[in-house]
Structure 1
Amino acid sequence: MSMALGLPEHLARDALSHALGRAGQAAAFVCLAVATTTGIANSIQNGAPDGAIVAACMAAMAALLALVAWRPSISATIAYLVVGTGAVVYATAVVMASGVFPSANNAVLSLPLAALLLVGGAGTGTVLAILWAVLGYVLGQLATLTGCLITGTPWALNAVATFALAILLVVRTFDGLARRANARGETRLNHASRTTRELALRHESELRATARLHDTALVHLVAIAAAGSGEVDERIRAGIRQDFALIIGRNWASDHVIEEPASRRRLANALQTGANAGVEVRVSGDLDALALVSDEAADALDQAIAQCLVNIGRHAGTNVAELAIGAGGGEVTVAVLDEGIGFDVEAVPSDRIGLRTSIRWRIEQVGGTVRLWSTRGVGTTIVLTVPVVTE
């Protein structure tokens, strides 16, 4: 079924069963509301207390149904059915004693009868739902029979309640059969679920996220101009040297050896740059995903991530960054996240040199994409995506 796409089979089953139960309970509330209103109107019109008592019984059923909907349990469901059965007995006696209807097969009694079988009940799944509905239907019909015996009036099976039960059985049976058929493809569904979790890394980053990227070259020019005449501050010089190294290449970091798996060595430049910038880098996700891209794409990711970490150390107001790595849909995604001061994305021109040269150009040269988000006071996220190697 389409509702189950992307969900593990057991989650899809529980979610759909819960939704069907909620829909039935909503219909039951409507039936009880109409029955309560009818009882009150009858009491006002005829000046008899019976109508008000019937309305109170219907309201009590509605209260217990609300308890079942809020916190489903066997005890709450049984309490609803017991109170509902008693309420239907009394309502049947009042309605049939009035002489308005020839038998219990009438529209007024069909309201609480339908509400009884639409209880939903505790637990999920087709079998439990059908059992609760059948139990509610049987109790309701027995209740009308008892009321008719008390008043000595003709009894008949309530057609509306019977039709409601038939519809519920058809829907629940079809749902159960369809989900059983889906369960046969559990292996394929598990694979889809795994892929979904991997892709959720990128989606979560996009939803959390925010991204900030400054045009490093222009930032340095502004800093030099603001410093006025005289010797340039050593911190500005160090930043310029580091940014030039990122644009030209990463030979400046070639003497640093990381004794780790090849997938992590592909981040050697970025991790070293983060350390040099005073940023603690936390790596999470599937590091082996880096082995799925070409050497050229890996170098582009490495250099682009390095530039992101430099920006975090220099501008974000935080010394902690996270690299979240995942794969799925023929792509490898790296999200660079920080919880810094953030900035107004709309206020930053889209053609900034740092974004265009140091990050976006490198990633787009290997067929990838770059997406940025930022929120003041929340932090920054940049999502880098490159295609995997196809054989």
Structure 2
Amino acid sequence: MTLGLPGHLARDSLSRALAHAGHCAAWVCLGIGAVVGVIGATIGGDPAGWVGAALSTLMAVLLVLVARYSTVTLTLVYLVVGTGSVLALTVLVMDPAYRFETTNNVILALPRVALILVGGAGVGSVLAITWAALGYGLGEAASFLGAVLAGGDWAPNVAAATAFGIVVVVRTFDGLSRRSDSRRETGLHRASQQTRVLVIRHDYELRATARLHDTALSHLVAIAAAGSGPVDQRLRDGIRQDLGLIVGRDWAIDHGQAVQTGDAGRGRDRVAPAAMATGASPADDTPTLEGAFAAAANAGLDVRMTGDLGVLGALGPARAAALDAAVAQCLVNVARHAGVTEVELALGLGDGEVTVAVMDSGVGFDEREVPEDRIGLRTSIRARIEQEGGTVRLWSTKGIGTTIVLTVPEGGE
């Protein structure tokens, strides 16, 4: 019984709700007692009615304080005053003039029920039952002592015993049901944690696969394009840096991020010629496709770009780096498979999305014929973009060429 509340709020909220319900019932009992006393004093002409009304009012005022502050001290004060009130009322009611045979009567039931429904300080079913039991026991003792002092017959009050039984049953059921709910919530929480772990693990596996694939493939293509003779020092430095990332702690960082954070100055030097050749001049703090241009340059691929690199400024650094890495993989695939040395790159921004299209007039292919063990398109491109909430669309015809459109939403980390 949690009323849809979170587990850490349900216990306190439900306990206070049940205590408030008990307080309302107690105020009703005390209000009836006060009204009966006033009627007896005014209409019946019995001065003792004023005493009964005063005692009921005093208990009601103290119960207001207990409901407002819920401290142990106020609860004990209420129980002590309530016990004294039950004793005094018992002595008054058991006077032979009122002709009550025993203490089992409705007049004495009113303050005793209010004594049981004290609620008390603290939360939880055990504490509530403890306070109710204390109120019931003190009420019985006061009633017994009052009957002895008045010379009347004592008998357990059925109404008070029934109220105590109801409190015990309700609180016990509440405690047991919340314990069961707590176990179910623990199971759900554990399952939720396992799901998050699996999602994170899957994310890192995709990053690791894409990272290793991108690094190995791009460098192999670059080495092959370099021809015979010594390897260019710039290419050596790039390979050394990427190998350092793979074996280090930052293996999951996308290539664009690695260049920006690991060696930003050298990264700008590498990509600046390619960017300048297309007529773009992005600001230093604006994301660029430096990783993609570097991959194209290493593969000996000539890139003709239309659009403005500034549209990448609508993306967060991580999302821009993911797009950069995916475009770089597209360009590497063109260099490896398309059989051409030129590729067109188009950038655009619209409807809250950044779009990059990679187009070549190469040999083309049928995506359905790509073997399952080839992870370039599936992981390094499609999975990487989909992780950022984007989409990848591909059109390719054999003998005509291939167009890949990468779209990612604005913003992101």
Q: Is the 8 A contact 2:104 2:157 kept in 1?
A: yes
State the SS of the aligned residue for 2:54.
Answer: helix
Quick one: distance in 2 between partners of 1:55 and 1:127? 33
Instruction: Tell me how many residue pairs correspond in the alignment.
Output: 233
Q: Is the 8 A contact 2:33 2:56 kept in 1?
A: yes
Tell me what 2:67 maps to: 69
Counterpart residue type for residue 180 of structure 2: A
**Residue 295 of structure 1 is aligned with which of 388, 391, 399?**
391
State the SS of the aligned residue for 2:112.
Answer: helix
Deviations 1:71-102 (A, max 9, x none): 11000100111111111111111111033211
Deviations 1:255-305 (A, max 9, x none): 659783238877xx99xx9xxxxxxxxxxxxxxxx9363436994642xx7
Tell me what 2:378 maps to: none
Q: What's the CA shift for 1:44?
A: 1.2
Query: Within 5 Å, which residues of 2 pair with 1:130-209?
Result: 130-190=129-189
Counterpart residue type for residue 260 of structure 1: P
Deviations 1:134-187 (A, max 9, x none): 000001111111110111100000000000111110110011011111121233
Tell me what 2:374 maps to: none
Q: What's the CA shift for 1:53?
A: 1.0
Quick one: distance in 2 between partners of 1:119 and 1:126? 13
Tell me what 1:110 maps to: 109
Q: Is the 8 A contact 2:26 2:113 kept in 1?
A: yes
Instruction: Could you tell me which runs of 5 or more consecutive residues in structure 1 were left unpaired when the two chains were aligned.
Output: 195-248, 274-289, 306-322, 326-391
Q: Is the 8 A contact 1:68 1:121 kept in 2?
A: yes
Q: Is the 8 A contact 1:258 1:265 kept in 2?
A: no
Name the Cα RMSD after superposition. Answer: 3.5
Quick one: distance in 1 between partners of 2:321 and 2:187? 30
Counterpart residue type for residue 49 of structure 1: P
Quick one: distance in 2 between partners of 1:149 and 1:263? 89
Counterpart residue type for residue 295 of structure 1: T
* Bigger CA radius of gyration: 2
TM-score by structure 1 length? 0.53
Query: Within 5 Å, which residues of 2 pair with 1:227-376?
Result: 251=308, 253-254=310-311, 256=313, 260-262=317-319, 291=387, 293-295=389-391, 299=407, 301-302=409-410
Quick one: distance in 2 between partners of 1:43 and 1:29? 21
> Displaced runs of 4+ in structure 1, greater than 6 A?
191-194, 263-266
Report the CA distance shift for 1:260/1:64 in structure 2 as closer, same or farther (over 3 A).
Answer: same
Quick one: distance in 2 between partners of 1:155 and 1:70? 35
Q: Is the 8 A contact 2:391 2:407 kept in 1?
A: yes
Quick one: distance in 2 between partners of 1:264 and 1:117? 68
Tell me what 1:224 maps to: none
Counterpart residue type for residue 148 of structure 1: A
Tell me what 2:32 maps to: 34
Quick one: distance in 2 between partners of 1:22 and 1:296? 58
Counterpart residue type for residue 136 of structure 1: G
Tell me what 1:340 maps to: none
Report the CA distance shift for 1:12/1:41 in structure 2 as closer, same or farther (over 3 A).
Answer: same
Q: What's the CA shift for 1:14?
A: 1.0
Q: Is the 8 A contact 2:2 2:181 kept in 1?
A: no
Counterpart residue type for residue 107 of structure 2: V
**Residue 19 of structure 1 is aligned with which of 13, 17, 20?**
17
Counterpart residue type for residue 100 of structure 1: R
Quick one: distance in 1 between partners of 2:22 and 2:307? 64
Quick one: distance in 2 between partners of 1:130 and 1:91? 25
State the SS of the aligned residue for 2:317.
Answer: coil
Tell me what 1:84 maps to: 82
Deviations 1:83-123 (A, max 9, x none): 11111111111111033211000011111110000011110
Query: Within 5 Å, which residues of 2 pair with 1:123-134?
Result: 123-134=122-133
The percent identity for this pair of structures is 41
Quick one: distance in 1 between partners of 2:165 and 2:320? 59
Quick one: distance in 1 between partners of 2:174 and 2:23? 18
Quick one: distance in 2 between partners of 1:253 and 1:150? 96
Report the CA distance shift for 1:256/1:112 in structure 2 as closer, same or farther (over 3 A).
Answer: closer
Report the CA distance shift for 1:89/1:113 in structure 2 as closer, same or farther (over 3 A).
Answer: same
Quick one: distance in 2 between partners of 1:76 and 1:113? 18
Quick one: distance in 2 between partners of 1:108 and 1:292? 73
TM-score by structure 2 length? 0.50
Q: Is the 8 A contact 1:6 1:189 kept in 2?
A: no
Counterpart residue type for residue 387 of structure 2: A
Report the CA distance shift for 1:174/1:44 in structure 2 as closer, same or farther (over 3 A).
Answer: same
Quick one: distance in 1 between partners of 2:91 and 2:8? 45
State the SS of the aligned residue for 1:185.
Answer: helix
Q: Is the 8 A contact 2:390 2:408 kept in 1?
A: no
Quick one: distance in 1 between partners of 2:109 and 2:176? 29
Counterpart residue type for residue 32 of structure 1: L
Considering Cα pairs closer than 8 Å and 6+ residues apart, tell me whether 1 or 2 has the greater RCO. Answer: 1
Quick one: distance in 2 between partners of 1:18 and 1:250? 64
Report the CA distance shift for 1:250/1:57 in structure 2 as closer, same or farther (over 3 A).
Answer: farther
Deviations 1:220-264 (A, max 9, x none): xxxxxxxxxxxxxxxxxxxxxxxxxxxxx9845246597832388
Q: What's the CA shift for 1:49?
A: 2.0
